[in-house]
Homo-oligomer: A and B are copies of this chain.
Amino acid sequence: MLSTPVTSSTAQPQKSTLEKLRRAKEAAVSVARLSTDEKNAVLRSMAAQLAENQKRILAANQIDLATADLRSSSRDRLLLNSERMSVMAEGVRTVLNLPDPIGQVVEEWIRPNGLRIRKVRVPLGVVGVIYESRPNVTVDATVLALKAGNAVVLRGGREATHTNEALVESLVQAPGLPAGAVELLDSRSRDSVDELMGARGLVDVLVPRGGAHLINRVVEKATVPAIETGAGNCHVYVDRAADLDVAERIVVNAKTQRPSVCNAAEKLLVHRDLASEYLPRIVQRLQCAGVEVRGDEETRRLTPGLHVLAACDEDWRMEYLDLRVAVYVVGSLQQAIDHINEYSTKHSDAIITRDEESARQFLNQVDSSAVYWNASTRFTDGGEFGFGAEMGISTQKLHCRGPFGLVELTSTKYQIFGSGQVRT
C-alpha cells in the first residue's frame, strides 16, 4: 500500500525531464539483464499492487474527473472504476503469460570460413510513450515495455495527471523493479513532450499515441526514432459483386460499433452497378443508427429525399471519429483502389465482394497496413489479431506495420562466434 497521500504534486516533483530520462537510460541496462522469471515476478506484483491500491487510484481519478472540463466521450475515456481496474490487472497478467521475446534466436547459420552468425532478439532500451487521457495505457505500455526488457518513460494526458501518478506510484512498488525503470513525466508542461522528442541518445523509440496534430509534431520535431500510430481514414468498398446483406452488416458495424476509434470506417465507396439498389437502403440504415451521411453528386442523386449532405473535397481526407460517413460512387474496382490509395491514411480498408479475383486485386493493390475481404475494419487491433496485448497500430512502413505489441518493442543484434578468423 502507498504510504503517502495523493496530492496535486507530481510523483517525482524534484526531478527534471532530463534527469528522469537519464535515470531511465541507466535503468534500461538493469532491466535488460532481468531473467524471464524476474520480469514475470515484477509484473505479478504490479497486478497485485493495482488491486491493493485500488481505492487510492480511484480517488485520484475522481480528482481528475472533477477538475477536467471534458466532453462526455473524453470523460468516459478518463474514467476508472473497479471493473476497469480489474481489466487493467487482467491485462498485466495477459502480458505476463506471453512468451518472452528476449534472447530468442531469430536466425543462425555458419559461413564457409567457420564463423557462426546468430541473430538474436534484444531489448530496444528506453521506450517513450506519449498518450492522451486513457489511464489504461499507463499500465499496458509499462508492462509491455518491461516484458520486452525495456525501461519506459510515460508522458500521459494533462487531464489524467493524478490518476497516472497514482498508477505509477503503485506500479513502482513492485519488488525487483530497477529504480528508474518506469518514469512518469510532468503532464502539465508541454515542454516535457518536446524534451522527450528531442532526447537523442536517451530514448530508443518513441510511440506517440494521439491525433494527427501530435503525429505531425513528432514528424517535424523528433530526433529520436518513432513509431507513428495513427489516424484512420478507413474505407469500405462495396464491389459490384457484393452480397448486399453482408455489405450492410459490415458497413453498419465498421461505422457505428465504436465510431471514435481509428479502425472505424469513415468512407463508403459503392460500385455504380449496384448503387441505385444499395445506396437508398444503406443510407437509411445508417441514418437510423444516427449517422450523418454526406455524399458525392451521384450518391445524392440516387438518394432523393434522404437528406444526404454534399461532401466537399476535404471530406475525402478527414478522419471524423464520429457518427458521420461520406459516400462516393465509383465506376470500377480500379477507381476504388486508386481513390483509397490517394485519400486513405493507409490504416484499414475493406472490400465487400463475392468475386475472388476482385478481392485479390484489392488486397494486393491497396497500400494499407490491414486490408480486408468481407470483414469489418474494426478488427485491426492487437487483441483481435490474437497478439494478447497491443502497444499501438503503426501506420508507417518501417519497423512494424499495423497492430504491434511485445515483439515490436525489441531489436536484434548479431552475435558472431569465431576461432581466430580474420578477413583477407
A residues contacting B by CB (< 8 A) are 29, 33, 109, 111, 115, 117, 122, 124-125, 200, 204-205, 219-220, 223, 225, 227, 243, 246, 249-250, 253-254, 257, 341, 363, 365, 367-376, 378-380, 384-386, 396-399, 401-402, 411-424
Contact = CB atoms under 8 A, between A and B. Distances in A.
This chain: copies in complex: 2
A98 to B, nearest CB: 15
B420 A363 contact: no
Contact of A423 (B219, B379, B416, B420): B379
A121 B253 CA distance: 29
B411 A398 contact: yes
Nearest to A249: B422
A220 B197 CA distance: 11
Given A372-B416, A373-B416, A399-B399, 20 more contacts: A29-B341, A111-B384, A124-B398, A125-B397, A205-B397, A205-B398, A220-B223, A225-B398, A363-B415, A370-B413, A370-B414, A372-B418, A374-B419, A374-B420, A375-B416, A376-B418, A397-B411, A398-B399, A398-B411, A401-B412
A402 B418 contact: no
Contacts of A417: 373-375
A22 B423 CA distance: 43
Contacts of A384: 111, 423
A421 B379 contact: yes
Nearest to A366: B413
A416 B370 contact: yes
Given A249-B422, A416-B379, A386 B111 contact: yes
A413 B371 contact: yes
A111 B379 CA distance: 11
Contact of A420 (B249, B371, B413): B249
Contacts of A374: 417-421
A421 B246 CA distance: 9
A377 B255 CA distance: 55
Contacts of A122: 367
B111 A422 contact: no
A113 B201 CA distance: 44
Contact of A225 (B204, B397, B418): B397
Pairs A-B, 7 closest by C-beta atoms = A375-B418, A253-B422, A397-B411, A378-B423, A399-B399, A246-B420, A398-B399
A418 B373 contact: yes
B257 A423 contact: yes
B375 A115 contact: yes
Contacts of A257: 422-424
Contacts of A254: 422
A59 B411 CA distance: 45
A415 to B, nearest CB: 5
A78 to B, nearest CB: 24
A29 B341 CA distance: 10
Given A223-B219, A398-B411, A402-B413, A420 B124 contact: no
A205 B399 CA distance: 11
Contacts of A372: 416, 418
Given A372-B416, A413-B368, A416-B370, A422 B378 contact: yes
Nearest to A416: B372
Given A111-B384, A414-B370, A416-B371, A376 B421 contact: yes
Contacts of A419: 374-375
